[in-house]
Structure 1
């Protein structure tokens, strides 16, 4: 049966370019009374309601949203699904936090039943927060990635994930070997990469937990499968950087460790990048590598303040990441709010239009998926979210005081959270409705 063409009528806003490249006014499209038309999982028309409806069949189905705004689905460029159960764990910085909270929780993912329960909850949480694509850490266990992809495939999600590679400086119960990590990653790539809307990311946890031999196998996998992603951490914490330089004294910098083994390429995404030298920034730019800006976790772990203007100076692609579970919310709206505060602490401004870009089209560009997702351009996959401008009593009152789109966006980003997400659509089909039409996972205690 042919897919029905459906029109969605509401205020509509989406990014079309980076404001730093074209200026604010030319970086987005806004239709106060707009229509988005979807057919066969793709966007086939967008524009003002009068123009679009004049072009479409007279009897087209039109869904109307009052006091809402439609935008592209959010893209989370760094998140850990196995850390869902330890979000909001008190009182540590990065290295102690890993030892005391992260590693014990990740042991539980040896059990595929538990992994499936958490994967289901995790993907439900993404949908209820308007996130339609994410770059996701699994655990060292191959099954943790298999069950994640199985659940993502059921939902027809465009997701990227990978098995953690970690052969030292971690508990014995969470380590693999260079050979086993290579073989299991290869098996997962051949099973899942480019299956439907799924992609694989080779995933060394970070340099301190991989030997030279294991990092060499990561480079080998990237050569054998040049279109897979590479996902790891970089320069999050000053003690972490010191540790890396102690472990790899022959290398010039933290980034140089990865570079030496061929881990920098156009689908490499490095989480954090808070403490980078100019030379490291230039090398990231030269290799078309990307950075995931994770403001809530950077503040929560006391790691530092990300220098977005510096990344822009070097033309490095930057996306937004929640970094759950060090990040304290699945909501990219709340993440944008924290990003604004991080810029304020550096005497810089983060415009709401730029924030929207980072959470949508900027994330797609960082993942080199902007030909498929990231905005509502005709031909793109129909992953979009309906945001409620009156989600709370305070938001309803505050919105009455706004006079333009930029003010509305800033209120959404400052006061918004999962209550703001009215509906989420995946490939043209409703995947979440705040009124309870989509079931939530039940986690066994």
Structure 2
């Protein structure tokens, strides 16, 4: 089959996408499904969606039709928390959060002062995201401005919708990784002017977490958010119990961990807090009142022994929740594998994670957490043509198991339990084929196929 550039493409196969949160509208009203569907894309946008028999008669003759048998087409995955520099030290053994940072993370991040190293890692990182079907991510850089320049340059070359920011960290970390309140502000401002809003790129003000930023740095972080109201705020919250004790010692005047950020006016509809495992009711209430979001990072939370995220409680308080792989404490770039672990986290708490809720978290829920659901997260006409084609026969075990799947929800659950990067046949971003699983190997950085 030819995949030559075309201004118009139609992808034919089973199509499913989230249209609402099952917690709000019920399972059946939360998705749209076409057993034999057609997804039409042109100029980077979705221009048609529906039953193939309805849309094919009016499809222009110059359209390239791509058949996707034994597949499931859905919106591109959204990762609401991940560290691209930690690609270098994923799968590091034997520590919980604070020791893990000191022994593995900080030494690895030191290398990102070198712009060439940053560019090489950004290339590997983005290739891994796309190989796993992730088309949008909220990403930590390092304290070095060069790390963010490198990331955005690689993302822009692929025309991806990505969010990233320079880490702000002026205390309680190795000297070789510290900025100052003033240099952090100035470097961030220059990066914002250079990259924010360029193509499909967005900037996030990124204090690492409360213990590593001084009063002056937090104040200047808030100043950036005031000066550029459409920026994101991206940081960590209540991941580890020893971390929480440290925060209480450093900020004795604060009511709780979230209150530290709240006192600096860092809570808003564009604020995303990773983890949020050990929260009190008031913290959930403030997150909901301010429209702030939580990133649920199950593989990381299990790997570091941090605890179990309480999704039902976040839902009960009306808090927006997205899914995060949190590489490199997270052990996979795959959202499918992350959903597998999320299901187990719920089981350990006596709760269930339905496949349609999982689909929502991986796509539209993440987009809502990032306030990008008008552009991504579903396959609605007019949205960016960011989607993934999942192969339900990608492995012998998947092919065997699918013989006995009798419903859409069962097929989804099998993919989310047994699937990984091998299940991603195509990843498409802005209408460009940015990953094709069966393409000939090529050691060069992949270039998107123009449409």
Distance 1:441 1:345 in 2: 43
Residue in structure 2 matching 1:342, options 334, 340, 345: 345
Contact 2:11 2:39 in 1 (8 A): yes
Contact 2:6 2:64 in 1 (8 A): no
Distance 1:9 1:359 in 2: 22
Which residue of structure 2 aligns with residue 409 of structure 1?
A: 412
After superposition, the Cα gap between the structure-2 partners of 1:90 and 1:10, relative to the gap in structure 1 and judged at 3 Å, is same
Deviation at 1:66, TM superposition (A): 1.2
Residue in structure 2 matching 1:161, options 158, 164, 167: 164
Distance 1:439 1:149 in 2: 23
Contact 1:3 1:40 in 2 (8 A): no
Which residue of structure 1 aligns with residue 399 of structure 2?
A: 396
Which residue of structure 2 aligns with residue 30 of structure 1?
A: 33
Contact 2:8 2:62 in 1 (8 A): no
Residue in structure 2 matching 1:360, options 341, 350, 363: 363
Residue ranges of structure 2 left out of the alignment (5+ in a row): 446-451
Contact 1:385 1:425 in 2 (8 A): yes
Which residue of structure 1 aligns with residue 57 of structure 2?
A: 54
Which residue of structure 1 aligns with residue 136 of structure 2?
A: 133
After superposition, the Cα gap between the structure-2 partners of 1:243 and 1:110, relative to the gap in structure 1 and judged at 3 Å, is same
Instruction: Describe the superposition over 1:200-257 as per-residue Cα deviations: whole angstroms up to 9, x where unpaired.
Output: 0000000000111111111111111110000000000010000001001111110000
Distance 2:258 2:245 in 1: 13
Instruction: Describe the superposition over 1:19-46 as per-residue Cα deviations: whole angstroms up to 9, x where unpaired.
Output: 0111100100111111000011100111
Distance 1:54 1:26 in 2: 29
Deviation at 1:55, TM superposition (A): 3.3
**Counterparts of 1:170-185 in structure 2 under 5 Å?**
170-185=173-188
Q: TM-score scaled to structure 2, two decimals?
A: 0.96
Distance 2:442 2:318 in 1: 42
Distance 1:178 1:437 in 2: 48
Which residue of structure 2 aligns with residue 82 of structure 1?
A: 85
Report how many aligned residue pairs link the two structures: 441
After superposition, the Cα gap between the structure-2 partners of 1:5 and 1:397, relative to the gap in structure 1 and judged at 3 Å, is same
Q: Secondary structure at the match of 1:75?
A: strand
**Counterparts of 1:69-108 in structure 2 under 5 Å?**
69-108=72-111
After superposition, the Cα gap between the structure-2 partners of 1:437 and 1:315, relative to the gap in structure 1 and judged at 3 Å, is farther
Q: Secondary structure at the match of 1:66?
A: coil
Which residue of structure 2 aligns with residue 296 of structure 1?
A: 299
Contact 2:6 2:63 in 1 (8 A): no
Q: Secondary structure at the match of 1:396?
A: helix
Contact 1:281 1:311 in 2 (8 A): yes
1:120 aligns with 2:123: yes
RMSD of Structure 2 on Structure 1 (CA): 1.2
Residue ranges of structure 1 left out of the alignment (5+ in a row): none
Distance 1:289 1:399 in 2: 39
Instruction: Describe the superposition over 1:338-363 as per-residue Cα deviations: whole angstroms up to 9, x where unpaired.
Output: 00000000000000110010000000
Q: Name which of structure 1's ranges 337-346 and 210-219 shifts more when overlaid on structure 2.
A: 210-219
After superposition, the Cα gap between the structure-2 partners of 1:41 and 1:271, relative to the gap in structure 1 and judged at 3 Å, is same
1:217 aligns with 2:229: no
Contact 1:124 1:440 in 2 (8 A): no
After superposition, the Cα gap between the structure-2 partners of 1:437 and 1:198, relative to the gap in structure 1 and judged at 3 Å, is farther
1:313 aligns with 2:312: no
1:270 aligns with 2:273: yes
Distance 1:241 1:440 in 2: 44
Contact 1:329 1:335 in 2 (8 A): yes
Distance 2:388 2:151 in 1: 22
Deviation at 1:4, TM superposition (A): 2.0
Distance 2:384 2:440 in 1: 23
